[in-house]
Structure 1
Amino acid sequence: MIPLGSCTMKLNASYELIPISWPKFADIHTFVPTEQAKGYSKVICN
């Protein structure tokens, strides 16, 4: 979840979404088993 704020709201979204464009994150297969994607969910939840 992306935290909201008054002045930084525009910057938070773009800054927090940068890792999604990295090939190691973007190229994960849709049907990868949950036990093999624990690191991804940890990064996304934090």
Structure 2
Amino acid sequence: MERKELNETLFTKAFETQHNAFLWVGVQGVRCIEFIIRPNFLTSNSR
């Protein structure tokens, strides 16, 4: 019984960590895309 609960806890923790990592990568990806697009957008406007 205890072993099963421990496994479930570890699984939940791993899942939460994976979920947080996925969100973090998503946010970083959006920032990276904005960083790539914005300078190009600004330089093309200033010409």
Q: Which bin holds the TM-score, normalised by the shorter protein?
A: 0.3 to 0.5
Q: Which has the higher contact order (CA 8 A, sep 6+)?
A: 1
TM-score normalized by structure 1? 0.33
More helix by share: 2
With the length of structure 2 as denominator, give the TM-score of the two structures.
0.32
